[in-house]
C-alpha cells in the first residue's frame, strides 16, 4: 500500500511542477525534460543521421528547402517576439537539409534540426506546399512535442509500476491480465489520442507560421488533399493511428485558415 501511495505521489509531483505554457495557444502542457537536456542529444543524433544518409546540396530543390525553412524560422521569431516570448528560441540551432530518400516524409528534431526527404517533393509541388510541411514540423519543435512524449512515457511507466504494486498480492495470471489491460487502455485511450492532438496542434501552429512567412495557408488544403490521394486509402483507422485521418485534418485546417490569416495580418501580410 505504501509503495502504491508513493507511486501516485510521484506522478502528482511531476504533474504539478512540470507544467509549461504553449506560446501559440496559451494552454498548459506537461513537460519535465528541459531543452538543455534534450537538445544536445538531438543535435548529436541529427549529425549522425546526416553522416549515414545522402544529403542533397546545391540543387534548386535543396536551396528551396533552406530558403523556405529560413522564412518559417523568421516567422516564428516574429510571432514569439511580438507576443512576449523574446529569447524563447535561445539554444535552437536551425539547420535545413534535403535528403535523398523515396519516403514521403519530413521531420524536425528538438532544437530546430530539419530534414525533408526527396520523396515528398512531388507532393509539395511548390514553395507553399513545402512551407505547409516545414511549418508543421517546426511547430513540433517549437512547442516541445518530443519532450512532451518523453514526459508522458515516463508517467505511463510509473503507472505500470503502480499497477504492479497494487496487484502484487494476486496470482501471476491476474497480474498479467491487469498489466495487459493497463497497456491497451493507456495506448488507445491516452498515448495515441495524445499524439493525434500534437498533430492537430502542429497543423494549427504551422498554418500560422506559413501565413506570417507570406505563404497562403489555403495552399495547405491542396497539399493535404495530394497527401490523401498519395496514400490511396492505405492509412489505418484513425483511432489506431498516431495521426488524424486526412479527412479530419483537412476539415480542421479549413476551420483554422481564417485565424492564420488574421495572425498574419498583424504583421502586415494579407491574402
Is residue 214 one of the residues assigned to a domain?
A: yes
Is residue 240 one of the residues assigned to a domain?
A: yes
Res. 164: pLDDT tops 50: yes
How many structural domains does the chain have?
Answer: 1
Distance CA 207, CA 217 (A): 6
The enclosing H or E element of 117 equals strand 113-117
Could you give the maximum distance between any two Cα atoms of the chain, in Å?
67
Q: Is-contact 19 29, C-beta < 8 A?
A: yes
Is residue 270 one of the residues assigned to a domain?
A: no
Helices then strands, each counted (H, E), the chain:
10, 6
Around Cβ 75, how many Cβ atoms within 10 Å? 25
Residue pLDDT, tens place only, 124-161 = 999 999 999 999 989 888 887 555 566 555 545 545 54
Q: List the one residue out of 269, 129, 150, 145 whose CA is nearest residue 200.
A: 145
Distance CA 84, CA 66 (A): 27
Is residue 219 one of the residues assigned to a domain?
A: yes
Model pLDDT, residue 178:
42
Active-site positions read 137
Q: Which domain holds residue 183?
A: 2-265
CATH number of the domain at 242, please. 3.40.390
Total residue count of the chain as it appears in this document: 271
Is residue 271 one of the residues assigned to a domain?
A: no
Is residue 115 one of the residues assigned to a domain?
A: yes
35 or 210, which is more confident: 210
Q: Is-contact 24 135, C-beta < 8 A?
A: no
Is residue 42 one of the residues assigned to a domain?
A: yes
Residue pLDDT, tens place only, 177-220 = 444 543 444 443 444 444 557 788 888 999 999 999 999 999 99
Residues contacting 221, CB < 8 A, separation 6+: 250, 253, 254, 257
Residue pLDDT, tens place only, 78-116 = 999 999 999 989 999 999 999 999 998 898 888 999 999
Amino acid at each position: 500500500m505504501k509503495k502504491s501511495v508513493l507511486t501516485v505521489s510521484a506522478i502528482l509531483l511531476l504533474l504539478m511542477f512540470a507544467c509549461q505554457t504553449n506560446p501559440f495557444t496559451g494552454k498548459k502542457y506537461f513537460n519535465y525534460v528541459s531543452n538543455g537536456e534534450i537538445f544536445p542529444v538531438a543535435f548529436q543524433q541529427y549529425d549522425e543521421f546526416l553522416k549515414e544518409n545522402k544529403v542533397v546540396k546545391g540543387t534548386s530543390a535543396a536551396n528551396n528547402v533552406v530558403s523556405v525553412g529560413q522564412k518559417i524560422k523568421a516567422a516564428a521569431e516574429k510571432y514569439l517576439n511580438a507576443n512576449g516570448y523574446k529569447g524563447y528560441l535561445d539554444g535552437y540551432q536551425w539547420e535545413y537539409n534535403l535528403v535523398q530518400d523515396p519516403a514521403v516524409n519530413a521531420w524536425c528534431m528538438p532544437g530546430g534540426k530539419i530534414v525533408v526527404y526527396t520523396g515528398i517533393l512531388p507532393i509539395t509541388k511548390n514553395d507553399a506546399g513545402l512551407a505547409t510541411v516545414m511549418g508543421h514540423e517546426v511547430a513540433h519543435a517549437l512547442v516541445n512535442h518530443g519532450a512532451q512524449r518523453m514526459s508522458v512515457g515516463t508517467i505511463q511507466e510509473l503507472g505500470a509500476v503502480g499497477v504492479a504494486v497494487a496487484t502484487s498480492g494476486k496470482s501471476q495470471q491476474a497480474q498479467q491480465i491487469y498489466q495487459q489491460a493497463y497497456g491497451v487502455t493507456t495506448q488507445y485511450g491516452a498515448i495515441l489520442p495524445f499524439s493525434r492532438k500534437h498533430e492537430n496542434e502542429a497543423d494549427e501552429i504551422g498554418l500560422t507560421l506559413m501565413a506570417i512567412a507570406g505563404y497562403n495557408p489555403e495552399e495547405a488544403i491542396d497539399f493535404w488533399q495530394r497527401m490523401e490521394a498519395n496514400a490511396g486509402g492505405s492509412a489505418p483507422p484513425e483511432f489506431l493511428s498516431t495521426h488524424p485521418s486526412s479527412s479530419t485534418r483537412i476539415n480542421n485546417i479549413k476551420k483554422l485558415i481564417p485565424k492564420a490569416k488574421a495572425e498574419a495580418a498583424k504583421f502586415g501580410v494579407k491574402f
